[in-house]
Chains A and B, each alone.
Chain A
Amino acid sequence: MSEFLHMGGYAFFVWSSFGLTAVVLLLNVFFARSALRRARLHALRRIKALEAERAPKT
């Protein structure tokens, strides 16, 4: 196991590559999910505003 982590002396380069990739990929996922949640909330708020505008007239 420690030999595996050692990566033949290239541990720093190998693990920082994989670590950096993981961080960037996970950040993208986080941003995409929060953008989707935000879009859903905004759309809902706008729809409600539109309905409220329409309601008093009828």
Chain B
Amino acid sequence: MYLWIHKLGSARYFYAFARVVAPWLALLCALLMAVGLYQGLWLAPADYQQGESYRIMYVHVPAAWMSMFVYVVMALASAVSLIWHIKLADWVAQVSAPIGASFTLLALATGCLWGKPMWGAWWVWDARLTSELILLFLYLGYMALSDAFDNPSTGAKAAAILALVGVVNIPIIHFSVEWWHTLHQGASVTKLGKPSMPASMLVPLLIMALAFKAYYGTLLMWGVQAKVLEHEYRSKWVRELLMGGKR
């Protein structure tokens, strides 16, 4: 009984929180994106080796970072849902999966568009590219698995286990450029010591990365609100919330 109340309470609390936070995150995302695009496309100088083509980095790198970040969020939420049976955690994971998949797809597609002029090939079976492609399949597998069972909670459990097993791929993606000789260039921001990029190039990248974070946050808040309404419509507070305006 306590658990039931607790669950309901947290869904209700989270719904209210999400409702307040979402518009601010959306605004923050729009502002950061505007500033980041202006600086990255207009103010930042051309690269001495790659010319103007390096500007693809301003969407490619944030998308690639987010593809891994969202996966980690999804795996953590899956762990929480498996251990403590918190529905909210399940919803976070389920809402995150398609968003993460779209970031992965963007990282791969913009990577192709960067690889063609720089390497002369749209795609190579290099460790970084291959492990990122596996990440896309993990997302798709998670989404397929969570829909594959008649009983949604069985699907959620199976998908959560897949998410946890797949987390091993994250360090592989990150360190792939060090462990193997890859065509993909090495890390230039997260390496120890100073990033090998001047501030005029680095700052817009970090702004864009924050914009993508805010973007994910916004979508997550909207998605969880939808999940709460979908599953908690029997509870009194949802009824009051939705019918409130009409009485």
Contact = CB atoms under 8 A, between A and B. Distances in A.
B152 interface: no
A32 to B, nearest CB: 4
Interface in B194-247: 215, 219, 222-223, 225-227, 229-230, 233-234, 238-239, 242-243
B234 A50 contact: yes
Contact of A42 (B98, B105, B229, B243): B229
B134 interface: no
A20 B117 contact: no
Contact of B226 (A4, A14, A35): A35
A40 B219 contact: no
A46 B242 CA distance: 11
Chain B binding site: helix, strand, loop or mixed by DSSP?
Answer: helix
A17 interface: yes
A28 B99 contact: yes
B109 A20 contact: yes
Interface in A30-54: 31-33, 35-36, 38-40, 42-44, 46-47, 50
B215 A10 contact: no
B158 interface: no
Contacts of A31: 98
Interface in B89-127: 98-99, 102, 105-106, 109-110, 113-114, 116-117
Contacts of B55: 7, 14
Give the size range of B's interface with the partner: 35 or more
Interface residues of A, number: 31
Contacts of B52: 7-10, 14
The residue in B60, B63, B102, B226 that gathers the most chain A C-beta atoms within 10 A of its C-beta is B226
B59 interface: yes
B102 A28 contact: yes
A38 B98 CA distance: 18
A32 B106 contact: no
B46 interface: yes
12 contacts: A4-B41, A4-B42, A8-B52, A9-B51, A13-B114, A14-B53, A29-B219, A36-B223, A39-B226, A43-B242, A44-B242, A44-B243
Which A-B residue pairs are the 6 nearest by beta carbons? A8-B52, A39-B226, A43-B233, A10-B53, A39-B229, A7-B52
Given A10-B53, A47-B239, 8 more contacts: A8-B52, A9-B51, A24-B102, A28-B102, A32-B226, A36-B222, A42-B230, A47-B238
